[in-house]
Structure formats: C-alpha cells, structure tokens
Amino acid sequence: MNVLSARWFRGLAIFALLFVLLSLNSNRAIVFIDNQYFEPTYRACVGILGFIAQDVSQLERQIVCNITMVSIAADAERALATELAADNLKEPPA
C-alpha cells in the first residue's frame, strides 16, 4: 500500500493544510464562524471527510471534526485574548 495515495493520508494532509491556513492570522473569522456557524461547518467537515475517507466510520469522522474544530476555535480565542491584553498594556493610561 502506497501511503501517499491512501485516502486517510490525503484527508489528514487536507486538515493539516487547513489548520496552517486558518492559523495564519484569521482569528477573528474563526471565532465568528465558531460562534455563528458551528453546526453547518461541522456537518460540512463530516461530509467532506466522508467523501475523502470512505473507509472510516461515521463516528470516527465526527470525532476528528469535533476535536479539530474545537481546538482551532480555542486557539483562535486564546490568540485574540493575548492580542487584546498586549494592546491594553501598550496604551498609556488617560
């Protein structure tokens, strides 16, 4: 079996690429999507994973999407909080 042509590897590579692209500096967009459109995004994630990795069970796809989406949203919220704290320290008191 060639690992590079395996469906699970392609799915993992796509998620890694999405994770890198989303972590570049779009924290506000990620938090907005998480707060407003979590369920549609979750269903899309499970559907896309089902298309990519047909040999993986529905439960496994749901687990991967849930963990990935929650960790991306938590990282974005943490980064926004850090940016806000840094901005508050830089501003001189009035």
| Dihedral in degrees, nearest 10, Cα atoms 5, 6, 11, 13 | -50
91: pLDDT strictly greater than 90 = no
Average pLDDT, the chain: 81
- Where exactly are the structural domains of the chain? 29-87
Q: Is the pTM of this model over 0.85?
A: no
Distance CA 52, CA 26 (A): 26
Q: Are residues 11 and 53 in contact, defined by beta-carbon separation less than 8 angstroms?
A: yes
Tell me which of 8 and 62 has the higher pLDDT. Answer: 62
3: pLDDT strictly greater than 60 = no
Tell me which of 91 and 45 has the higher pLDDT. Answer: 45
- Chain segment 50-79, per-residue pLDDT in tens: 888 888 899 999 999 999 999 989 998 998
